[in-house]
Structures are given as structure tokens and as C-alpha cells.
Structure 1
Amino acid sequence: MRATKGDQFVQHGRVVGQHDKVGEIVEVMGQGGNPPYRVRFTDGHEGVCSPGPDTEIRHRTAEEQQ
């Protein structure tokens, strides 16, 4: 899984009723876009994350990058 700064990091809820955690990748710490990533979540907290099977990276579109 590869990402760039500004992509969304989405951690899907694992049980019924649990909401997804969505954050913005603020730093790519691995080489070539590989994990780990420093992520700032919508609640304001930051953490170093490596994606698991319940994680999705939503890449920025060309329009969003401008």
C-alpha cells in the first residue's frame, strides 16, 4: 500500500455500529510511499500508523492537489 502526503487514511469500523476513523496523512515515513504514516485524525489526535486489512488509502485527485 502506497500513499502520499495529503491522502486520506480510512480505518473502517470492525463491528456493527463502530464508525470509520478518517485522517489525513501528514508525513510518509517509509521509502517510496510505503508505511508507516503519520496521520492526523478528524478528532485532532496524531499517530504513527501502518495500514491493516481494514484500512483504505484514498488518494487525492489531481484537482485536489492544486
Structure 2
Amino acid sequence: MRAHAGDRLLTHGRTVGHRDRVGEIVEVLGPDGQPPYRVRFEDGHETVMSPGPDSVVQGEAEPGESLSG
């Protein structure tokens, strides 16, 4: 997994009833874009995390472009 500051991190809910979480990677702490990452979530909470297999990095969108595909 590789990321850059400004990319989004999507973490899928692991159990029924838990929604996916989306956060912005504000800092890459590992070498060459590798984890850990400092992530700011939609509610303003920030944490340092090394995402697992239930997470996906979405590249930073160009202006006017949607990250959802």
C-alpha cells in the first residue's frame, strides 16, 4: 500500500451495521509512501494508523473529478 498526503483512505466496516469510514491522509510517516499514515476522519478525529487489508487508498482527485470512480 502506497499513499501521498491528500489521498483518501477508505476503511470498510468489518461487521454488519458498521459503516465504511473515509479519512484524508494528512501525513505519510513511512518510507516511499508506506504506512503508517496520519489520517483525519470526517468527524475531525486524527490518528496514526497502519491500514489492514480492509482498507483502500484512493488517489487525490483532480479539481472537478470524483474519487468514487
Is this a same-fold pair by TM over 0.5?
A: yes
**What runs of 5+ residues in structure 2 fail to find an aligned partner?**
64-69
Q: How many residue pairs end up in the alignment?
A: 63
How far apart, CA to CA, are the structure 1 residues paired with 2:8 and 2:22? 7
Give CA deviations for 1:29-60 in whole Å, capped at 9, x if unaligned.
00100000000000110000101011111111
Q: Larger % of helix: which?
A: 1
TM norm structure 2 = 0.85
CA RMSD of aligned residues (A): 0.9
2:49 counterpart of 1:49: yes
Moved over 6 A (4+): none
How far apart, CA to CA, are the structure 2 residues paired with 1:39 and 1:25? 5
How far apart, CA to CA, are the structure 1 residues paired with 2:44 and 2:5? 17
Deviation at 1:17, TM superposition (A): 1.6
**What runs of 5+ residues in structure 1 fail to find an aligned partner?**
none
TM norm structure 1 = 0.89
Identity %: 60
Aligned to 2:28: 28
